[in-house]
């Protein structure tokens, strides 16, 4: 006998079984893409898609450049899982732009850069 899930007349036990079966089927067919990886459409093996350096990939990231590290930060490691994978630029250096894998460069002569600088001429030496 057929008991549609949306039927208001189906028996509770039959509806519950049908809903549980659909939930199990859906759960088996869809796996969340884990943090630290990105998963292209229809990906079945996420482990071939490491999150690249200069970026971080929270759960369900769909492409490699989706979450770049913001200015003033860098990430020289792969498989970053959250924004805290991006670390502040080092003192004496600056990190300009998005997706840095390493500081952009040293501060300019006559200037000093504090932790997290995004330009080479942040503070003039006096």
Cβ proximity of 43 and 33 under 8 Å:
yes
pLDDT in tens, 18-58: 555 444 444 445 578 899 999 988 776 777 799 999 999 99
Q: How confident is the model at residue 123 (pLDDT cuts 50, 70, 90)?
A: confident
pLDDT in tens, 64-102: 999 999 999 999 999 999 999 999 999 999 999 999 999
Q: What is the CA radius of gyration of the chain?
A: 24
What per-residue confidence (pLDDT) applies to 26?
Answer: 42
The answer, yes or no, to whether residue 104 has pLDDT greater than 90, is: yes
The C-alpha atoms of residue 33 and residue 35 are separated, in whole angstroms, by: 7
What per-residue confidence (pLDDT) applies to 74?
Answer: 98
Dihedral of alpha carbons 52, 56, 58, 63, sign:
negative
Confidence (pTM):
0.71
């Amino acid at each position: 006998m057929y008991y549609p899930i949306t039927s208001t007349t189906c028996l509770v036990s039959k509806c519950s079984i049908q809903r549980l079966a659909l939930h199990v089927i859906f759960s088996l067919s869809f796996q969340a893409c884990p943090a630290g990886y990105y998963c292209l459409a229809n990906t079945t093996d996420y482990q071939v898609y490491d999150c690249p350096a200069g970026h971080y990939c929270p759960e369900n990231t769909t492409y490699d450049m989706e979450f770049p590290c913001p200015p003033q930060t860098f990430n020289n490691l792969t498989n970053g899982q959250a924004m805290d994978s991006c670390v502040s630029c080092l003192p004496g250096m600056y990190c300009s732009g998005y997706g840095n894998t390493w500081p952009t460069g040293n501060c300019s002569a006559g200037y000093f850069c504090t932790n997290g600088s995004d330009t080479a001429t942040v503070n003039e030496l006096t």
